[in-house]
Amino acid sequence: MLQSHTPSLEVLNSLASLFVSVFVRIPPPASGPIAFETFWKETYHGLPQFRDQYPDNIRSCLIAFDDVFRDDVSLNFSSEIESFSHVCI
């Protein structure tokens, strides 16, 4: 259902805490992060008009996802954020 919303900064900011919550406790098979990846790739992934305005906690979680799953959802934010642990917990 969330994928049906037109991507916007307002939607992204209002849902940021929900997205981050799936990274707090990740029991196998990691359904929360996988659902986040599916949503992200269908909506905000690669949209240049939003990339520089992602909330820090979402950037950090994108980096964490890439680190764990060896994916490319963060589009190389890792050089822009010092540490994911201070934001995405």
Report the pLDDT value the prediction gives residue 89, as an integer from 0 to 100. Answer: 45
Amino acid at 52: D
Residue 84: per-residue pLDDT: 43
CB-CB contact of 19 with 36 (8 Å): yes
What length does the chain have? 89
- In the chain, where the domains are located: 30-89
Residue by residue, pLDDT tens for the chain (89 residues) are: 777 889 999 999 999 999 999 988 889 998 999 999 899 999 998 898 998 899 989 988 888 888 888 777 776 665 444 444 444 44
For residue 75, what pLDDT is reported?
Answer: 66
3-state secondary structure labels for all residues of 9-75: HHHHHHHHHHHHHCCCCCCCCCHHHHHHHHHHHHCCCCCHHHHCCCCHHHHHHHHHHHHHHCCCCCC
